[in-house]
Amino acid sequence: MNQKMTNYRWTICALLFFATTINYVDRQVLSLLQPYLSEKFHWTYSDYANITSAFQFCYAIALLFAGRFIDRLGTKKGYAWALILWSIGSMIHAFANSIGNTLSPLLSVFGIAMPVSVIGFIFARFMLGVGESGNFPSAIKTTAEWFPKKERSLATGIFNSGANIGAVVAPLSVPLIAEYFGWEYAFIIVGAIGFLWIVFWKYCYYSPEKLLEKGKINEAEYNYIHSDTEEHPIENDVKEESGENKVRWLRLLAYRQTWSFVTGKFLTDCVWWFFLFWLPVFLKSYYGMTGTQLMMPLAVLYTMTMVGSIGGGWLPVYFIDKGMNIYPARMTAMIVIAVFPLVVLLAQPLSSISYWWPILLIGIGTSAHQAWSANLFTTVSDMFPKKVVASVTGIGGMAGSISGVIISKVGGWMFDHYSMLGHIETGYTIMFAFCAIAYLLAWCIMKLLVPKFKPITDI
């Protein structure tokens, strides 16, 4: 008999969406408060670059181990611990000055001299970076466990749009919280939200095999989830729950497929990091916008990115329905997407007309980034078995975050330099030019590394 399929996998996707939303709200609080905090604590551009780089560097290193941690501990426990840690990390930003006062004498012994506030915020960003490193390896692994390959880019696009929702919610809420309750409570209130998500995760998430036994999903959905994989689903799910399926991550570096993903992340993640952390600084530098003045333009920009995230997940499905195989469809979608960020080249020349011109043009670029990202993440679950998906995602995520450190440090130095010369716009012109061409460059290298679809079967 034909059995009507349950759709519990979309409940799982909703949980991933909300976790990613919380993730991006937490990491964006600092950038939204930067105009106020830089005046309060007398930060230079380089001071702010050091603080943001601390998060990105720690996030990068932790990503390398987060994937292994998730693969070994299991998705359910690993994701929960990651969210607990990053929620605490977000909340302790409120006590950054006190933390800095405590750590400053210790660092001075080693000849490290920094403003007390910078030390405290760096410590908080380290903590936040360690916790947040678990989000995407966990989410991508969960998607591989719960969705067939043909649906993974759509599911990834949907949960990844949580980054956009978070980026919209943050500018609409954080400045208001800071204005009415103080900047410290912006970090505390936002950080505490993560603990609510953990309750739902604890009671809703299990592997498909477990939920089949519990009767939460039926055999029709279970078989559909595993309909286009060569792995043995029940055996794989049982091993996943028991913490088996261990593969040394160094072995993964022998595959060109790993380096293709690493290249894509290294060359394009830094673009997203740059806009996420430096766009409020740009609006302050050019238009004197601070606090609640940032709410509407940033909300509009990140609302635009939602279109790219979900549309980017749908685009390869369109090509698959036209008869393409999975990898050619994915790469065709990505080259189409890579063209759109070129409009960012116009953001600087048109900035003198109105701040809406750079907002809208950069919005197209960030929308394209999310579309690109939804497909880039899915290339991992396309080509690697489920047991190493989180590990490969972690390696690529580390590369992307290292590039974020580089672009933040270069940006801080460049903006200080050109600001002293009296034409900071030159610095932004250079940065925007790189952001525009990064995706085409990444696609070309990825295509050279993996010209044809070749899944990994010998792990």
Closest to 50 (Cα-Cα) out of 88, 106, 105, 107: 107
Q: Decide whether 1-227 matches 250-458 in CATH topology.
A: yes
CATH topology of domain 250-458: Growth Hormone; Chain: A; (1.20.1250)
Measured between alpha carbons, how far is 412 from 410 in angstroms, rounded to an integer?
6
Sorted by sequence, the CB contacts under 8 Å of residue 354 that are 6+ apart come out as none
What is the pLDDT at residue 2? 59
Residue count (the chain) = 459
| Residue 109 CB neighbours (<10 A) | 7
- Cα–Cα distances (Å) from 407 to 273, 302, 339, 358, in that order, read 8, 21, 21, 19
- 416: alpha, beta or left, given left = phi > 0 and alpha = psi -120 to 50? alpha
What is the pLDDT at residue 333? 92
- 323: alpha, beta or left, given left = phi > 0 and alpha = psi -120 to 50? left
How many helices (H) and strands (E) the chain has is answered by 18, 0
What is the pLDDT at residue 374? 81
- 245: alpha, beta or left, given left = phi > 0 and alpha = psi -120 to 50? left
Q: Where are the domains of the chain?
A: 1-227, 250-458
Measured between alpha carbons, how far is 367 from 364 in angstroms, rounded to an integer?
5
Measured between alpha carbons, how far is 425 from 280 in angstroms, rounded to an integer?
15
Separation of CA 194 from chain center: 16
Helix, strand, coil distribution of the chain in percent, nearest 5: 85, 0, 15
Burial (CB count within 10 angstroms: exposed 0-12, middle 13-18, buried 19+), residue 356:
middle
Three-state DSSP class for residue 279 = helix
First-last CA distance in the chain: 37
Q: Report if pTM > 0.75.
A: no
Which DSSP helix (H) or strand (E) runs through 25?
A: helix 8-41
Looking at domain 1-227, its CATH architecture is Up-down Bundle (1.20)
- 215: alpha, beta or left, given left = phi > 0 and alpha = psi -120 to 50? left
Measured between alpha carbons, how far is 280 from 65 in angstroms, rounded to an integer?
31
Q: Encode the chain (459 residues) as per-residue pLDDT tens digits.
A: 456 888 999 999 999 999 999 998 998 899 889 888 998 999 988 899 899 888 888 888 887 788 778 878 888 898 999 999 999 999 999 999 999 999 988 888 877 778 899 999 999 999 999 999 889 888 988 998 899 887 887 888 788 778 778 878 888 899 899 989 999 999 999 999 999 999 999 999 988 999 999 888 999 989 898 887 655 444 444 444 444 456 776 788 889 999 999 999 999 999 998 998 888 888 888 888 887 888 889 888 888 887 887 777 778 878 888 888 888 888 999 999 999 999 999 998 888 889 999 999 999 999 999 899 888 988 888 888 877 887 888 788 889 989 988 998 898 889 888 888 888 888 899 999 999 999 999 999 999 999 888 777 776
